[in-house]
């Protein structure tokens, strides 16, 4: 999305799911993640972070976290800079 790569995205729910390994705890990677999240938030997307360990060892809780985020009120995206809106 844009200049970024995301793991999973649901455009309808404006939700990005990131499955993160331990490398995301490094300051340089966490800083890049924060920039990506800010860019996505500016376009009306929310980010749910799931650890690799949770996805592998406790997938039920990972699914619950994703479903809870989908159940939250979907943010209203900013209008497109071209003024064309979004296709729904």
pLDDT-derived band at 14 (thresholds 50, 70, 90) equals very high
Q: Please give the average per-residue pLDDT across 18-28, as a whole number.
A: 76
Per-residue pLDDT tens over the stretch 49-62: 999 899 999 999 99
Residue 57 to residue 47: CA distance in whole angstroms: 21
The one-character DSSP state at 68 is H
Model-level pTM? Answer: 0.72
CA distance 54 to 48: 13
Q: Show me where the domains of the chain are located.
A: 22-71
Name the band, by pLDDT with cuts 50, 70 and 90, for residue 4.
confident
């Amino acid at each position: 999305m844009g200049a970024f790569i995301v793991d999973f995205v649901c455009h309808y729910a404006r939700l990005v799911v990131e499955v993160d390994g331990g490398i995301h705890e490094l300051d340089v990677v966490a800083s890049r993640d924060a920039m990506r999240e800010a860019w996505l938030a500016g376009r009306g997307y929310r980010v749910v972070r799931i650890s690799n360990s949770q996805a592998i060892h406790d997938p039920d809780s990972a699914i619950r976290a994703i479903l809870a985020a989908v159940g939250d009120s979907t943010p209203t995206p900013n209008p497109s800079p071209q003024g064309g809106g979004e296709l729904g």
